[in-house]
Amino acid sequence: MTAAASARQILTRLHEVMAQRLHAQGKLDSVVDIIGESLASEVCSIYLLREGMLELYATRGLNKSAVHVTRMAIGEGLTGVIADNVEMLNLAEAKAHPDFQYRPETGEDKFHSFAGVPIVYHERAVGVLCVQHVEPRRYEDVEIEALQTTAMVLSELISNAELVDEEEALGLSEALSGPQTVPGLTLVKGLGAGIAAYHQPRVEITQVMADDIEAERARVYRAFDKMREQIDGLANQAEFGVGGEHEEVLQTYKMFAYDEGWSRRINEAIDSGLTAEAAIERVQQHTRMRMRAIDDPLLADRMHDLEDLANRLVRIVSGQLGTAAQQGLRKDTILIARNLGPAELLEYDRRRLKGVILEEGSLTAHVVIVARSMGVPVLGRAKSLRGIVREGDEILLDATAATATVRPSAQVADVFAQRFAKSREKQAAYASLRDVEPFTRCGTRIQVMMNAGLRDDMSSLGLTGADGVGLFRTEFQFLVSATLPQRERQLKLYRDVMDAAGDKPVIFRTVDIGGDKSVPYLSSDISGNDENPAMGWRALRLALTREGLMKVQARSLLEAAAGRQLYVMFPMVSEPWEFDAAKAVFEDQLKFLRKKKKVVPEQVHYGAMLEVPALAEVLDLLLPKLSFLSVGTNDLTQFLFAADRGNPDLAERYDWLSTSIMRFLRRVVQATQGTDVDLGVCGEMGGRRLEALALLGIGFRRLSITPAAVGPIKELVRRIDLDELSEAMTAWLADPSCNLREAIGAWATERDIDVD
């Protein structure tokens, strides 16, 4: 008999039992008999979780009097270990296992071999199914698979018969695997608490046994086709970023997606009588088991990719494709994803989203910038989360300390609550600076502006008391839209933003699409062909080629600013002529509007972003054309260090506070001195306290930063003396061996200035 045929026989018998009008206990009793007979094993037992303990619910072969008497704690004995780790055990000699515990009432002393699998419900072990033999032997794969299939059937029975309380099952986590600390990298500081939700949620398998095997087979074929199509099209999606490591992941995905062995095993599992969903899961369980036995970190990484892919396949087959955002967040949530695009993050309900944990991510990736502006803490570079965090687990995220605690103990929760309270106090103190103007101790007024990108962000202007919007990322509207935003929509947004800003200036940056901000309706013909989109056809380069795009935006901005001051800034200017060309598009539109007798802006101020290092060498040519210049340190530093801003492996490698970056920036400051050009920084570094000190120390007087940083930076400004600071910076920069971060940190600490 083939393995599939024998598995099918077991399933058929289980099917019959489940269909009988028997109470749950009767069914469990029948199941142990079926498994015992099929595996010719002397013992087969089922333990189920009740009131936090694993209780013997049914047995064939152990003393019947032990049923509902023998109870094991999670982690205690072999069954407890299986439940605790949610992992099977296969032992030729049970007594040799360090966790073996002998329970005399069961009469199990004569049995040598032992195999057990967890019964999983809502991703948690709610019971254990095990077999024992007198003779010492290891169980074969087909036998373990039969146990796993049976465990899936039992899980379905358990949920239908309500043998495990749903609430209890969800609340079990602490008992099941206890608290775990997940280390990572701080991407957006802050604290948040909520339950875990995966951006791509796992599908609960509700039917294990197939009614029609042919139909299941057809479903899985279609799903494989669709998945392969998706994988082939993934290269352009945010989830996978671009280049480097992502390319490797994608290749692995492709390898698995087209792996004949994988699809064959799933088909065999379907032949044995499982539904497509259950077959995928069963094969996955089996692969997990084999991979764990090998214990190789490289393989573990691949396993993670395969888990992702299997999850994708189950989602396709079951038609449950929605992200957690589309399903809606019902409670305060900590979102978990491998990676996200800015548009994907923006789909989430801001009120419920309390934090994000990414397996990848870097400080200046746009998704992180968006999260920062939403005030959502983000922890990045957290590894292998699928194995640690289950949907619905409680999580305390301390992105400031670069950790998250999953299933926290009461003690950890207390400490967290205290930190939370302290941080709120601090926030309140910063908020009280709202109406206070940021003058340094020596009396210099520093312009503290904020970065924004959406209509919703504008409320922060009043809340923080920022001096205006130093960078309005107009492309955010393009990112959240399924189609190219038309003129009316753009016009309305820009008008609303200016209305919300009142007398305060708003610097609108023209679209910066490309790089990690690709949009589907533009990517195929342009950025899709870029091997290195950050250095490719993006921002002004793209806008100047697609003149229609730029014209529409110019018209919208000029009309929205009718009768007011308009500040326009061009991104990624690499050579002065590009600035001229962009300005000409605006001037043409202005002429057109005047001809049409429309009300035009009172004045248009043109500025450029300094993001491409080459531009710094020709500032003498560019500056006379500008009214302001804003340094985009996110891009500038990626180009200076040749280090992709979105690459997680490089996320910690280079420091903004390096002598090379600071010397470069100081030369830019010097180039603008004596001109009328208003100079500022609008990259992320300006919002960090030590970095802000460095920037002020080399002569910057305008910072545009994320709204949450406005309070802390205002507070910082009020504590410093610029002469003293710039003198220190000059000395440090003269010495290339000086560790700037340490030097500035020590300088601040000496003056009792908080460096966090």
Q: Under the rule (CB under 5 A), what is the footprint of Mg ion?
A: 611, 632, 635
645 vs 470: CA distance, rounded Å: 21
Q: In angstroms, what is the minimal distance from the CB of 529 to Mg ion?
A: 21
Confirm if 473 and 452 have CB atoms less than 8 A apart: yes
Nearer to ligand PEP, 190 or 683 (CB): 683
Amino acid at 118: P
Q: Which residue is nearest to ligand PEP (CB)?
A: 632
Q: In angstroms, what is the minimal distance from the CB of 334 to ligand PEP?
A: 25
C-alpha distances in Å from residue 244, one per residue of 57, 265, 755: 52, 32, 34
Nearer to ligand PEP, 539 or 557 (CB): 539
Amino acid at 161: A
Determine which residue in the list 635, 644, 691, 715 makes contact with ligand PEP, applying CB under 6 A.
635
- Select from ligand PEP, Mg ion, none the partner in contact with residue 682, using the beta carbon and a kind-dependent cut-off of 5 to 8 Å: ligand PEP
329 vs 321: CA distance, rounded Å: 16
Q: Does position 457 bind ligand PEP by CB under 6 A?
A: no
Q: Does position 634 bind ligand PEP by CB under 6 A?
A: yes
581 vs 579: CA distance, rounded Å: 5
Nearer to ligand PEP, 193 or 363 (CB): 363
- Select from Mg ion, ligand PEP, none the partner in contact with residue 473, using the beta carbon and a kind-dependent cut-off of 5 to 8 Å: ligand PEP
Nearer to ligand PEP, 485 or 632 (CB): 632
Q: Does position 473 bind ligand PEP by CB under 6 A?
A: yes
User: What is the SS3 string spanning 575-633?
Assistant: CHHHHHHHHHHHHHHHHHHHHCCCCCCCEEEEEEEECCHHHHCCHHHHHHHCCEEEECH
Nearer to Mg ion, 42 or 611 (CB): 611
Of 17-25, 211-219, 454-462, 627-635: span binding ligand PEP (CB under 6 A): 627-635
Nearer to ligand PEP, 61 or 515 (CB): 515
Q: Which residue is nearest to Mg ion (CB)?
A: 635
Q: Which residues, other chains included, contact 15 with Cβ-Cβ below 8 Å and sequence gap of 6+?
A: 209, 273
C-alpha distances in Å from residue 719, one per residue of 477, 543, 752: 38, 42, 9
Confirm if 120 and 86 have CB atoms less than 8 A apart: yes
Q: In angstroms, what is the minimal distance from the CB of 734 to ligand PEP?
A: 27
Q: How many angstroms separate the most distant Cα atoms in the chain?
A: 100
Amino acid at 255: M
Q: Does position 683 bind ligand PEP by CB under 6 A?
A: yes
Q: In angstroms, what is the minimal distance from the CB of 635 to ligand PEP?
A: 3
CA dihedral 165, 168, 173, 177 (to 10 degrees): -70
Of 194-202, 400-408, 560-568, 628-636: span binding ligand PEP (CB under 6 A): 628-636
Of 83-91, 307-315, 527-535, 633-641: span binding ligand PEP (CB under 6 A): 633-641
Q: In angstroms, what is the minimal distance from the CB of 532 to Mg ion?
A: 15
Amino acid at 346: L
Determine which residue in the list 106, 518, 633, 706 makes contact with ligand PEP, applying CB under 6 A.
633
For 504-541, the DSSP string reads S-EEEEPP--BTTB--HHHHTTTGGG-SSGGGSS-HHH
User: Tokens at residue 131, please?
Assistant: 């077999």
């373990």: which residue's tokens?
144
Nearer to Mg ion, 635 or 644 (CB): 635
Of 253-261, 294-302, 616-624, 629-637: span binding ligand PEP (CB under 6 A): 629-637
Q: Does position 691 bind ligand PEP by CB under 6 A?
A: no
Nearer to ligand PEP, 42 or 611 (CB): 611
Identify the three-state secondary structure at position 305: helix
531: number of Cβ within 10 Å? 9
Q: In angstroms, what is the minimal distance from the CB of 239 to ligand PEP?
A: 20
User: Tokens at residue 215, please?
Assistant: 């139909």
Q: In angstroms, what is the minimal distance from the CB of 368 to ligand PEP?
A: 10
359 vs 382: CA distance, rounded Å: 5
Q: Does position 132 bind ligand PEP by CB under 6 A?
A: no
Q: Which residues, other chains included, contact 249 with Cβ-Cβ below 8 Å and sequence gap of 6+?
A: 240, 305
534 vs 639: CA distance, rounded Å: 9
300 vs 640: CA distance, rounded Å: 35
Alpha helix ranges (H) inside 162-271: 166-171, 173-177, 213-233, 244-257, 260-271
Confirm if 329 and 353 have CB atoms less than 8 A apart: yes
- Select from Mg ion, ligand PEP, none the partner in contact with residue 59, using the beta carbon and a kind-dependent cut-off of 5 to 8 Å: none
Q: Does position 408 bind ligand PEP by CB under 6 A?
A: no
Q: Does position 308 bind ligand PEP by CB under 6 A?
A: no
In the DSSP assignment, the letter for residue 446 is P
Q: In angstroms, what is the minimal distance from the CB of 569 to ligand PEP?
A: 10
67 vs 427: CA distance, rounded Å: 57
Binding-site size for ligand PEP (CB under 6 A) equals 11
Of 319-327, 395-403, 614-622, 632-640: span binding ligand PEP (CB under 6 A): 632-640
Nearer to ligand PEP, 423 or 523 (CB): 523
Determine which residue in the list 370, 471, 501, 651 makes contact with ligand PEP, applying CB under 6 A.
471
Q: In angstroms, what is the minimal distance from the CB of 628 to ligand PEP?
A: 14
Q: Does position 342 bind ligand PEP by CB under 6 A?
A: no
Nearer to ligand PEP, 186 or 373 (CB): 373
Please report, as residue ranges, which positions from 363 to 392 form the binding site for ligand PEP (by CB under 6 A).
369
Nearer to ligand PEP, 380 or 408 (CB): 380
Confirm if 532 and 508 have CB atoms less than 8 A apart: no
Determine which residue in the list 210, 395, 682, 717 makes contact with ligand PEP, applying CB under 6 A.
682
Q: In angstroms, what is the minimal distance from the CB of 578 to ligand PEP?
A: 16
Q: In angstroms, what is the minimal distance from the CB of 384 to Mg ion?
A: 32
Please report, as residue ranges, which positions from 602 to 621 form the binding site for ligand PEP (by CB under 6 A).
611
Per CB under 6 A, residues contacting ligand PEP are 369, 471, 473, 512, 611, 632-635, 682-683
